[in-house]
Amino acid sequence: MKVLHDMPVDKIFTIKNTDKVMLEKWLYLMTIGRIIDEKAPNYLKQAIGWSYHAPYAGHDGIQLAIGQIFDKEHDHLFPYYRDMLTNISAGLTAEEIILNGISKAADVTSGGRHMSNHIGKPEWNIHNVSSATGNHTLHAVGVARAIKYYKGNGVAISSQGESSVSEGYVYEAINGASTEKLPVIFVFQDNGYGISVPKKDQTATRKVANNFAGFKNLRIIHCNGKDVFDSINAMTEAKKWSLENQMPCIVQANCIRIHSHSNSDRHDLYRNDAELGYVLDSDPLLKFKRMILRYDRLTKEEVHAIEERAKEEVKAAHKSAMASPDPDPASIYDFVIPDPYPALKYPEGVHNFNGEKKKLIEGINETLKAEFRLNPDTFIWGQDMANKEKGGIFNVSKGLQQEFGPSRVFNGPIAEDFITGTANGMSRYNQKIRIVVEGAEFADYFWPAMEQYVEMTHEYWRTNGKFSPNVTIRLASGGYIGGGLYHSQSTEGTLATFPGIRIVYPSFADDAAGLLRTSIRSMGPTLFLEPKALYNSPVAATPIPDDFEVPFGKARIRRAGTDLSLITYGNTTHLSLKVAERLALEGLNIEVIDIRSLIPLDKEAILKSVKKTGRVLVVHEDKVFGGFGGELASIIGEEAFEYLDAPVRRVGSAFTPVGFSRILEAAILINEQKIYEAARELLKY
C-alpha cells in the first residue's frame, strides 16, 4: 500500500518570497478577525447578543489558510463554530460577522436563527453547520460525491476541532471518503482541548489524524496551525493533491487556544499559569507581525496603517450592524419546510383506474424506475441496495442499478448515519438533485442516524430558506413478520416530533406509488415509511395509474360510514377495514379513514368524519403510549369535542418491545379482535 501520509509539502509561500500585497492582505484579514474576536464578549456584557462565542485566537494560521484556498465557484466549505477567521478569510465582511454575532435579520448565515459564531454564507457554498460538532463531515463527503459525479473541479473542505474527531460519524465520513475516493479535505484544528477535556482523554494518539494512517486512498498532512506560511503551504498542497488525485486528505493543524473554550467556560479552572503564559507567548498574530518586520517585508508604519484601517472597518461595521433590524417574531413559521410538488393531476390523491392489480412492492419499484428515467439527477443508495439481482433488503429496488448504473444506484456501508448524512450533503450541490435513501435495512436500525435525521429537519429553517435537503428517506417499517425486537418497530411516534420533515405511511400499492412520486419530486425531506408486511400482500395490491401522484396531507376514505370513524394508517388500515366489514354484518356502518400522510395531516378530513359519526377510534400499530395517535386524539378532542357522542379512544400495541416468539408477537401487536372490541365499546355510547 502506498504510504501517503509522509509525503513532503512544498514550501511555496515563505516570509521571504510571498508577494507584499498578499502579506498586506493577510495581515489585514487577521487583524479584522482578531479585533472582532476580542470585541465579541463585550456584546454579551452589554446584553446586546453574541451569547455564544468560541474565540479563535491561536488558530490564526490555519484559519487564514482555509479561507485563502477556498474558491466559492467550485469548492464547498463547512466551517465550525470557532472558524471566524476562516469565514473572514473566505470573504465575509466584518459587518456580516457582527450581524451573525448579534443575531440580526440580515445575518447571511441564518437571519438570527442559528447560534452566534456558527457562521456561513450558503449562497457562496460556505455552509451553515450544526452545533453537533463534526457532523458536517458527512455533509462534506456527500457534496464531494456530487462534485466528483458532476466533474465540478472543486473540493469539499470540512473544518473541526480535534476533539470532535472522537465522534463516530467522523470515522464514518472519513471511511466513506476513502472508500469512494472523494475530494474532501478534513481539517483538524488541534488546540489540545475539547472544552476542558485534554487530548489524552479523547484518544490514545496525540495527533488524532494519525489514527487514520491505515486508511487507504487518504493523505495526511501535519502543519503548524499557528504559522501562516506552514498552514498556507499545507492547505495549498492538500487542495492540489485532492483535486489531482480525487482522493481525501486530512490536514491536522497544531494550534493553541489562547482563551477559554467559550464565554461559558473558565480555563483558569483547569490550566495553570505556566500554560496560560506560554500560549500567550505563542500568539500566531504576533508571530506573523514579528516575521514581517524582521524580514523587512513591511515597515512599522505600514503595519500600523493596516491596523488602523482594520479598526475603522470594524467600527463602521459595528455601527451599521447595530442599526440593522432584528428578526421578526412573526416569521417563525417561515421556511419550516419548502412547498411540496403540487401533485395537481390527482388533487385528492384518488383515481378510478381499473387496470391490473400490482403489489405494493411493485408500486414502489416501478415508481422509482419511472422517476429515475424522468430525472437524470436522481440517486439512490442504502444497505443491500445493489449487488447483481439483489436490490434492497426486500428487493424493492431490484433492477435499478442494472438500468441506471452504479453512479446513481449503489450500496452504502453499514452506517446509517453516513447514508443519511451524505444524502443531506450531496443535495447541497444543486437544487435539481433528488435523492432517495434506504435509511437502514429495517426502520429499527435507523436510530444511529437520528442525529442526521434531526439535521435534515433543521436545515431549511436554520438557513432561513437558503438550503433544503431534497431527500426521501425510505424505511421498511412495522411488524407482523415474526421479526422480534429489531425487525418490528414502529418509529413514527418518535420521528414525527421534529418540525421540518414530511412523513407518509401508505397502506396500499397505489398510495405508495403516488406518495413516492410526490416525495421524489418535492423539495425538502420526506420520511417514507413502508409497511413491509404488506410488500407482497394481495390485500394491499391495487391498480396503479402510470402517472399517479398523491398530494401530501390528503387522507383517503377507504370505507364510508356513519356510526363510527376508525382513523388509521399503515398495516392497521387493513385490520380496520376487516373490523368494519365484520361490524357491517352486525348492521353497523363504520367509516375508515386512512390518513396516509402524518405530516402534513389532513385535519379537515378527520374532523369532517368525526362530525359525521360522533365516535372515533384511533388505530395504529405503534404503541398507544407515546404513539402518533396521541396527537390525533388530542386534535379531535380540542377541535371537535362538541360533536362527540363518546370519548375518543386509541388502540395500538402494548407498551413493550415486540417479542420474537409468534405467541409473544401476537400478544403485543394490535390485531383485528382488539380493534373490534374497542369499537364495540365505543358503539355502546
Partner 1 sequence: MGKIGLFYSFNSKKTAKIAGIIHNAFSGIDVQLVNVDEVNKDHFLEFDNFIFGVPTWFDGELPNYWDELLPALEEIDFSHKKVAVFGLGDQKGYPENFCDAIGIMVLFFEERGATITGNYPLEGYTFEGSKAVRDGQFLGLPLDQENQARLTSGRIERWVEVLKKEFN
Residues at the contact surface with partner 1, assessed by CB under 8 A: 14-16, 190, 205-207, 210, 222, 224, 227, 254, 256, 281-282, 287, 290-291, 294-295
Radius of gyration over alpha carbons of the chain, in Å? 28
Indicate the residue among 18 and 164 with the shorter CB distance to partner 1.
18
The residues, any chain, with a CB within 8 Å of residue 120's CB and separated by 6 or more, are 79, 87, 108, 109, 110, 126, 127, 128, 129
3-state secondary structure of 436: strand
Indicate the residue among 290 and 311 with the shorter CB distance to partner 1.
290
Q: Give CA–CA dist 279/267, Å, rounded.
A: 12
3-state secondary structure of 214: coil
CB atoms closer than 10 angstroms to residue 127: 26
Rounded least distance, CB 161 to partner 1, Å: 15
Rounded least distance, CB 194 to partner 1, Å: 16
Indicate the residue among 49 and 284 with the shorter CB distance to partner 1.
284
The torsion angles phi and psi of 241, rounded to 5 degrees, stand at: -70, -45
Q: Give CA–CA dist 174/446, Å, rounded.
A: 20
Report the candidate in 187, 192, 193 with the shortest Cα–Cα distance to residue 174: 187
Residue ranges of the alpha helices (H) in 405-469?
Answer: 416-426, 450-462
Strands of the sheet containing 249-254, edge to edge, are 76-78, 156-161, 184-190, 249-254, 219-224
Indicate the residue among 285 and 513 with the shorter CB distance to partner 1.
285
Indicate the residue among 290 and 373 with the shorter CB distance to partner 1.
290
Q: Give CA–CA dist 445/394, Å, rounded.
A: 15
| Residue 487 a catalytic site member | yes
Rounded least distance, CB 14 to partner 1, Å: 6
Q: Give CA–CA dist 588/291, Å, rounded.
A: 90
- DSSP-derived secondary structure letter, 126: B
Q: Give CA–CA dist 350/357, Å, rounded.
A: 15
Rounded least distance, CB 12 to partner 1, Å: 14
Residue 486 CA to chain centroid, in angstroms? Answer: 24
Rounded least distance, CB 282 to partner 1, Å: 7
Q: Give CA–CA dist 610/88, Å, rounded.
A: 58
Report the candidate in 65, 3, 7, 286 with the shortest Cα–Cα distance to residue 189: 65
Rounded least distance, CB 277 to partner 1, Å: 12
Q: Give CA–CA dist 485/317, Å, rounded.
A: 58
The residues, any chain, with a CB within 8 Å of residue 105's CB and separated by 6 or more, are 111, 112, 324, 325, 326, 327, 328
Q: Which of 59, 136, 487, 620 is catalytic?
A: 487
The two beta strands, 597-599 and 502-504, are antiparallel
Indicate the residue among 293 and 664 with the shorter CB distance to partner 1.
293
Rounded least distance, CB 224 to partner 1, Å: 6
Indicate the residue among 108 and 256 with the shorter CB distance to partner 1.
256
Report the candidate in 161, 167, 130 with the shortest Cα–Cα distance to residue 418: 167
Residue-wise DSSP of 552-587: TT--EEEE--SSEEEEE-THHHHHHHHHHHHHHHTT
Please give the span between the terminal C-alpha atoms of the chain, in angstroms, as a whole number.
Answer: 76
* Helix 20-45 / helix 94-101 crossing angle, nearest 10 deg: 20
Q: Give CA–CA dist 163/551, Å, rounded.
A: 45
Rounded least distance, CB 521 to partner 1, Å: 51
Rounded least distance, CB 1 to partner 1, Å: 19
Rounded least distance, CB 272 to partner 1, Å: 14
Rounded least distance, CB 316 to partner 1, Å: 34
Indicate the residue among 233 and 565 with the shorter CB distance to partner 1.
233
Q: Give CA–CA dist 494/483, Å, rounded.
A: 20
* Bond preceding residue 600 cis, omega within 30 of 0: yes
Report the candidate in 359, 433, 427, 445 with the shortest Cα–Cα distance to residue 398: 359
Indicate the residue among 205 and 331 with the shorter CB distance to partner 1.
205
Contact between 380 and 437 (Cβ < 8 Å): yes
Indicate the residue among 16 and 216 with the shorter CB distance to partner 1.
16
Indicate the residue among 230 and 492 with the shorter CB distance to partner 1.
230
CB atoms closer than 10 angstroms to residue 4: 18
Q: Give CA–CA dist 31/441, Å, rounded.
A: 52
| Catalytic center residues | 487
